[in-house]
Amino acid sequence: MALKKVRIHEAVGMVLGHDMTKIVPGEYKGPAFKKGHIIQPEDIPHLLNIGKEHIYLLELGDQQIHENEAAERIARLVSGENTYMAGPSEGKVTIIAKQDGLLKVNRAAVTSINAVDYAVFSTLHGNRLVKAGEILAGVKVVPLIVDDQVVRTVERIAGEYQDIVAVKPLRALKTGIITTGNEVFYGRIQDKFGPVLRDKIEDYKAEFSGITFQPDKAEAITQAIMDYAQAGVEVIVVTGGMSVDPDDVTPDAIRATGAEVITYGTPVLPGAMFMLAYLGNIAILGLPACGMFSKITVLDLVFPRILAGERLSKQDFAEMGYGGLCMGCKECSYPCCPFGK
């Protein structure tokens, strides 16, 4: 690459080879003049006002590419399902959600790409809900001009993965609640768990399929699960009875259905006594009492992924321990916080 330095007053009629940024603190940050702009006499005062007294004219050598082209080539490979690209602007291409859904980011791919000199690939945390139009990631290279080998190295790495940044739509799965406990079943206290859980199910756009009440009897809870399964319910949430107390029989009742237990216990607080099992394709969630008292729990890390069509494994839960401690903030800002990240 050859750089030709030219004084601003001598640059009229010349073509910019890069964006020039203008910053007004608290008001604006963006390109004052974009790549390809032909310098006009009236541009001179503006360029001087943003501190530019010289510009560079770029002459690319063999196997050298401009930052805009480099960013576009990388972004095309990392943009996955239900995303689109915008830009480049100031050398950066943004990846944006095409629709609402669950953001998936391949963390290993992001790390591998950023290990390449001059590559910059920044994303949001994965496994969080995003809205259509939300920015998910940014791609650029550090220098204005980069050797083509850098981009080809990134392309080779990215080619080893699929859907590095993608959005999975949530399905409106039929979801039923079984509330356990003698105190509620026999009317000694009013059920306050069900309404809270129903609101959460509907917040995630799942289809609420009803609620039943069962005593602390494993046989009755097992039968209620099987009844829901026969009725076509796709997610069954069983609340209460998840501790190690003698009267808490919900885990045994779930096992008695013949379901495959993925985990009983998670490295997530709140939610340590959570259970996930699968009866065929039906997800059975054993939810401890934390779901009634805490706004955000392990349920918020698991339920959206099930709605997005994922079948979680023991490894998925093991990985939740990193970032799995809720800080219990007075004003909850989830998902814009470390929990579940």
CA 262 to chain CA mean position, Å: 23
What H or E segment, with its residue span, contains residue 301? Answer: helix 298-307
Across all residues in the chain, what is the average pLDDT? 88
Report the 10 Å Cβ neighbour count for 123.
20
Mean pLDDT of 95-104: 98
Total-model pTM: 0.83
Distance in angstroms (rounded) separating the CA atoms of residues 178 and 282: 14
Q: Tens digits of per-residue pLDDT, 260-312? A: 999 999 999 999 999 999 999 999 999 988 766 788 999 999 999 999 999 99
**Domains in the chain, please, with CATH?**
2-59 (3.90.105.10), 64-168 (3.90.1170.30), 174-319 (3.40.980.10)
- pLDDT reading at 161 higher than 90: yes
Q: What is the pLDDT of residues 105-131, one digit of tens each?
A: 999 999 999 999 999 999 999 999 999
Higher pLDDT, 75 or 40: 75
- Which residue's structure tokens are 């099992």? 277
